[in-house]
Structure 1
Amino acid sequence: MLRLPTTAIRLCIYAILPRVTGVRVALGVDLGTGSVKVALVDEAGETLRSASQAYDLSSPHPGWAEADPMEWLHATTAAAGQVLDNGEGAGAMRVGFSGQMHGVVLCDESLDPVRPAITWADSRAGNEAADMQSALGPEVLARLGSPAVSGFAATSLRWIRVHEPEALVRARYALQPKDWLRARLGGMVATEPSDASGTLLANVDDGSWNDDAITWSGVDRDVLPPIIGSSDAAGEIHLAGKTFECVTGASDTAAAITGLGLSIGDGFTAVGSGSQTVSLVPRPTGGISHGTHLFATAGAPGSGWYRIGAVQNAGIALRQALTWLDATAEQANAALDQGVHPSDPLFVPYVAGERTPFVDPGLRGAWLGLGLDTSREAMLRSVVEGVAHAVALGIDAVLGAGAPLPDPLPLIGGGSVDARFRQLIADASGRRLAPRDQPDAAVVGAAFLALGVTAPPASGADDVIEPQNSAHELLAARQQRLVEYVQQSHEQ
């Protein structure tokens, strides 16, 4: 009888793989918005073992989206312990990091947070964003790669300067989430081009800090870490009772690009807490257009870039609406079995403001067209439809900014695994989609950065989802109604 190896035996196998077969392994740590994933990955990109730990966002006031960095630390330690079995068989692996972009952790000299982290989903700094847009102007913002929006480090720091100046007095560093985690585990205080480019404090073309933006934010330059390469050595960290060498890492999207093996001309749409449509571009040009952003890829400063439509409201809106309706995601997707009806209410998914394409932190969600005859099933169906429209509008924004997207368009992310939802995205966007079963792209990319390898080019799609003409026509009309509602709200 064939028996699978026990955990201890598997870990021993992982430890001796480099010596016996020449296969190297690394540990990837992906610090997401709602959970952290730790994975043991080999140089072929196979996830040998992984574990996740969840944590919560808090919203003590409308529009706020904060997190306790110490919960990130505890969750990472717990997940790593599951993967490494308290460090047994860990070998001489290196560790790479990826993480949620834009947020900021203010911490003291000992790397203890002086206040909760402000995350990318936070919309409190709308006034600060408007002031930054006006004060710095289009030329400086084009160098920063983004319109001035709430939830980025620059606008969050300016808000703190105005409303909580004592926090800045106590702070020694202002760090991106994954950079704080790496440093708190014992690594260097540093960042790298992909995360720096998402702060609105750095020049996206050459990966240097921008003095105009720093001055506007009201912080001292020395609270910002040095910018080094994504695969550069970043000291040693301590996890699961072991000491590991680590590299700087990359933002989640840049790490996913690395994990997917993409190059100039490639792109994808990812659906998770938010949705990102990405196009890799040859030069840092194009300015700010259609609410999209230009960010740096993983690597050395000034070595690569991508255009992105960053939609805040995908899974985060779905989860909130399901809470209101006391429903599950499966129940919502099952409601799609009958297709979207013309009489269904229209769900406006912007419960946390929005970046692409509307650039309005004050946007809020709504249901349009509710009546006495509206069923719970129709409301559930409308929630999933509204998220699909948000994803589709992100795709349109990237194309409208002049960045090419492949046909079919790869679709990745843990939020896009249901076949009914995938079809709905194809119908809402009118684009052919090629689902890729790579929900771990970011954590694999983090491990690749630690290994110093790149993924092989992606093979052609086996499964292509074609948009259905009749469904697309109905959804296009409903999507236009959603856009008109948002534009009217934006003008008020």
Structure 2
Amino acid sequence: MNYVIGIDLGTSAVKSALVDREGQVAGEHSESYPLMRPKPGYSEQNPEDWVEGTIRSLERLIVKTGIQPSQVDGISFSGQMHGLVLVDGDGKPLRPAILWNDTRTTAQCRKIESALGERLLDIARNKALEGFTLPKLLWVQENEPELLEQAKLFLLPKDYVRFRLTGEYATEYSDAAGTLLLDAAAKDWSAEIAQAFNLPLSLCPPLTESFGQTGGLLPEIAERAGLAPGTKVFAGGADNACGALGAGILGEGRTMCSIGTSGVVLSYESDKTLNLKGSAHFFNHAEKDGYYIMGVTLAAGYSLTWFKETFAGDKSFDDLLAGIGDIPAGSGGLLFTPYIVGERTPHADSDIRGSFIGMDSGHSLTHFARAVLEGITFSLRESVDIVRGAGKEIKEIVSIGGGARNPDWLQMQADIFNATIIRLESEQGPALGAAMLAAYGAGWFGSLEECAAAFIRPAGAYQPNPEQVGRYEGIYSLYQDVYGQTRELNRRLAEYRN
């Protein structure tokens, strides 16, 4: 039996998954690493922690599964997006990596908007947000100019790890799309954007397809990891692109809803000329010449975690949600907005905050728990509406993450989205998507579609209930009013938060 390995480089840990030719996960191992917050709003990591964690994860995976190094046909990556790693001429990081959730770059975002205006949306297809890579580069340019002068390249997190494993520099289109420096349609770095900020294009790494081979394991790395020298390594993809692969989002109309700490609605797109004017993210897919539309709820699963820890710390999630199916849609007139850390789609607003509206003495803990789930799902519905507004017909949505583990929540998604919700038999998310890129790159399949057909198996479906759909339409309309009604209140309250 031969295998491929998918490596998912996350914010808190790296996971390696060993996958066979049928898409079955034969073993996995995770290694965590620290997050540094040296100042409010800063979020950084040591890139070498990623490398060491990845090597340990691979080594322990091989030991646990007992396979022979010769049985591994390829390795590929999924990675946290947007993070900035600046390396010198020897490939050594010049400073800690600035991560996707670092918010120090608001001033740089305004500078980008002022300099480029609508051209940014024409070229990069995304608004300037603090999470993206270009604002981070401009922050270094303004605050640590001596480091930028020493830099040979900037790399994204997974691309730095892959460089250390293979000695070869590269990135691929799905991760490059999250930098604000890629011309999404042309699939090339934008000289216009770089020149607007006096950034040399030579800072940008070489581009390749997600399934392109980017070297082989260096002998010293292979020895430490327990793998064969020269084991093929493929470029990989951004975490959301790989999550989409792992959910089979590889054709027109295919859409997924992923509810983790944040929430994502992602739909496949083939039209490279589509310009949503920043109402949702538009990124290159890991599939060749594919794209995807994506909306983000910043505090999806996190809203539920916050609620449990704050108001029901003695209960498990299963116990907290045990009775929500007995509460009617609308939670007895109780409405929750999940803006507890701000919001991304459709309101790119860092000041907005969450609310419970309609509380009365008849509401129980279970009413509140159901209201939290409904509020999260309403927020995700706004992203579904954007996709539908772009001309996409959405009849089925693959649900993954924490939102796919509770039957009542799955039915709620079907009713609020008015679409059939598909649950998968085995959900490995981005790690499986990375393994699929390795499997396709290694020649196991003739296309990623063939790979998805072999690897991904539905386990159940939830149909929308017409009566509930109608009831939720009215409640959803009320939900949409809350943002406008509370925006100014939250702006005025912001000065009292500290």
Which deviations, in whole Å up to 9, do the C-alpha atoms of 1:321-364 show, x marking residues without a partner? 44434364334433524335544653322334333222234433
Q: Report the alpha carbon displacement of residue 103 of structure 1 after superposing the two structures with TM.
A: 2.7
Asked whether the 8 Å contact 2:126–2:278 carries over to 1, the reply is no
Which residue among 335, 339, 343 is the counterpart of 1:350? Answer: 339
Which residue among 67, 78, 102 is the counterpart of 1:98? Answer: 78
SS at match of 2:279: coil
Tell me: CA distance 1:171–1:312, structure 2 relative to 1, closer, same or farther (3 Å): farther
Q: Report the alpha carbon displacement of residue 25 of structure 1 after superposing the two structures with TM.
A: 1.7
Q: In structure 2, how many angstroms separate the alpha carbons of the residues matched to 1:90 and 1:202?
A: 37
Asked whether the 8 Å contact 1:408–1:464 carries over to 2, the reply is no
Structure 2 counterpart of 1:173: 153
Single out whichever of 378-387 and 60-69 deviates more from structure 2.
60-69
Q: In structure 1, how many angstroms separate the alpha carbons of the residues matched to 2:87 and 2:389?
A: 40
Structure 2 counterpart of 1:311: 297
**2:179 aligned with 1:199, yes or no?**
yes
Tell me: CA distance 1:383–1:297, structure 2 relative to 1, closer, same or farther (3 Å): same
Q: In structure 1, how many angstroms separate the alpha carbons of the residues matched to 2:486 and 2:114?
A: 22
Which residue among 375, 383, 400 is the counterpart of 2:389? Answer: 400
Asked whether the 8 Å contact 2:331–2:367 carries over to 1, the reply is no
Q: Report the alpha carbon displacement of residue 78 of structure 1 after superposing the two structures with TM.
A: 3.2
Which residue among 276, 279, 283 is the counterpart of 2:264? Answer: 276
Structure 2 counterpart of 1:363: 352
Q: In structure 1, how many angstroms separate the alpha carbons of the residues matched to 2:198 and 2:368?
A: 45
Structure 1 counterpart of 2:401: 413
SS at match of 1:364: coil
Tell me: CA distance 1:169–1:148, structure 2 relative to 1, closer, same or farther (3 Å): same
Which residue among 179, 189, 208 is the counterpart of 2:188? Answer: 208
Q: Report the alpha carbon displacement of residue 179 of structure 1 after superposing the two structures with TM.
A: 0.9
Q: Report the alpha carbon displacement of residue 402 of structure 1 after superposing the two structures with TM.
A: 2.5
Q: Report the alpha carbon displacement of residue 229 of structure 1 after superposing the two structures with TM.
A: 2.1
SS at match of 1:182: helix
Asked whether the 8 Å contact 1:40–1:50 carries over to 2, the reply is yes
**2:129 aligned with 1:149, yes or no?**
yes
Tell me: CA distance 1:462–1:80, structure 2 relative to 1, closer, same or farther (3 Å): closer
User: Scaled by the length of structure 2, what TM-score is found?
Assistant: 0.82
Tell me: CA distance 1:481–1:159, structure 2 relative to 1, closer, same or farther (3 Å): farther
Q: Report the alpha carbon displacement of residue 263 of structure 1 after superposing the two structures with TM.
A: 3.5
Q: In structure 1, how many angstroms separate the alpha carbons of the residues matched to 2:318 and 2:147?
A: 43
Q: How many residues align?
A: 467
Letter in 2 for 1:89: Q
Letter in 1 for 2:173: P
User: Scaled by the length of structure 1, what TM-score is found?
Assistant: 0.83
Structure 1 counterpart of 2:51: 73
Which deviations, in whole Å up to 9, do the C-alpha atoms of 1:242-299 show, x marking residues without a partner? 3333111111232244445543314222222333322222221221246212211225
Tell me: CA distance 1:259–1:429, structure 2 relative to 1, closer, same or farther (3 Å): closer
Q: Report the alpha carbon displacement of residue 375 of structure 1 after superposing the two structures with TM.
A: 4.7
Tell me: CA distance 1:193–1:247, structure 2 relative to 1, closer, same or farther (3 Å): same
Percent of paired sites with the same residue: 30
Q: In structure 2, how many angstroms separate the alpha carbons of the residues matched to 1:271 and 1:225?
A: 32
Which deviations, in whole Å up to 9, do the C-alpha atoms of 1:213-239 show, x marking residues without a partner? 223456443332111222222123325
Single out whichever of 255-264 and 194-203 deviates more from structure 2.
255-264
Q: Report the alpha carbon displacement of residue 156 of structure 1 after superposing the two structures with TM.
A: 2.5
SS at match of 2:207: coil
Structure 2 counterpart of 1:333: 321
Which deviations, in whole Å up to 9, do the C-alpha atoms of 1:359-382 show, x marking residues without a partner? 234433344455677654444433
Which residue among 477, 481, 492 is the counterpart of 1:480? Answer: 477
**2:214 aligned with 1:234, yes or no?**
yes
Q: Report the alpha carbon displacement of residue 210 of structure 1 after superposing the two structures with TM.
A: 0.9
Q: Report the alpha carbon displacement of residue 96 of structure 1 after superposing the two structures with TM.
A: 0.7
Letter in 1 for 2:121: L
Asked whether the 8 Å contact 2:78–2:237 carries over to 1, the reply is yes
Q: In structure 2, how many angstroms separate the alpha carbons of the residues matched to 1:378 and 1:342?
A: 5
Tell me: CA distance 1:379–1:49, structure 2 relative to 1, closer, same or farther (3 Å): same
Q: In structure 2, how many angstroms separate the alpha carbons of the residues matched to 1:330 and 1:216?
A: 52
Asked whether the 8 Å contact 1:348–1:386 carries over to 2, the reply is yes
**2:240 aligned with 1:253, yes or no?**
yes
Q: In structure 1, how many angstroms separate the alpha carbons of the residues matched to 2:116 and 2:6?
A: 38
Structure 2 counterpart of 1:6: none
SS at match of 2:379: helix
Which residue among 403, 412, 430 is the counterpart of 1:442? Answer: 430
**2:454 aligned with 1:467, yes or no?**
no
